[in-house]
Amino acid sequence: MRNKVYEFLRTIPEGKVVTYGQIAEYLGNKKLSRAVGRILHNNPDESRYHCYKVVDRNGRLSKAFAFGGIEGQKERLEKEGIIVENYRVSLEKHGYNITFSK
C-alpha cells in the first residue's frame, strides 16, 4: 500500500493538490484516509514524493507536516503558485480532479 501512495504522489501535476480521501479512493477504500496520512508522515524522500501536495477534504494544510510543519507545507505550495489563505487551499481552484475507473 505504501508504494502505491508514493506512486500516486508522483502523478499530481505542478500547481495542484489532492486530498487524503482521493488517495484512499485510489487505493480502493475511501476509509483509508488516516492510513494514508500515516504513510505520508513517514515519507522517505520528500524531494521525490511531494507529500506537501496533500490536504484534508476542506483544503486545510497539515499541522503535523513532517518537513517543517504547517509553515513548511505552506511555503512549498506557494512556491508552486498555489494560493494558501489561512492555511487553506481552494480545492475548486487548485484541486486535482481525478476520475477513477471501477
Please tell me the pTM assigned to this model. Answer: 0.92
The per-residue pLDDT for 100 is 62
Catalytic residue among 23, 51, 84, 89: 51
- The type of residue at 57 is R
Strands 54-55, 18-19: parallel, antiparallel or unpaired by DSSP? parallel
Share of the chain above pLDDT 90, in %: 89
The per-residue pLDDT for 25 is 93
Report whether pLDDT(6) > 60.
Answer: yes
> Cell digits for 26?
485510489
> Cell digits for 61?
494544510
Go through the chain and tell me how many residues it has: 102
Question: Rounded distance, CA 63 to CA 87, Å?
Answer: 9
CB atoms under 10 Å from CB of 23, counted, come to: 24
Q: What is the helix (H) or strand (E) element at residue 89, kind and residue range?
A: strand 88-89
* 88 belongs to the catalytic site: no
The per-residue pLDDT for 101 is 54
Question: Rounded distance, CA 69 to CA 50, Å?
Answer: 14
> Cell digits for 34?
488516516
pLDDT, one tens digit per residue, over 26-54 is 999 999 999 999 999 999 999 999 999 99
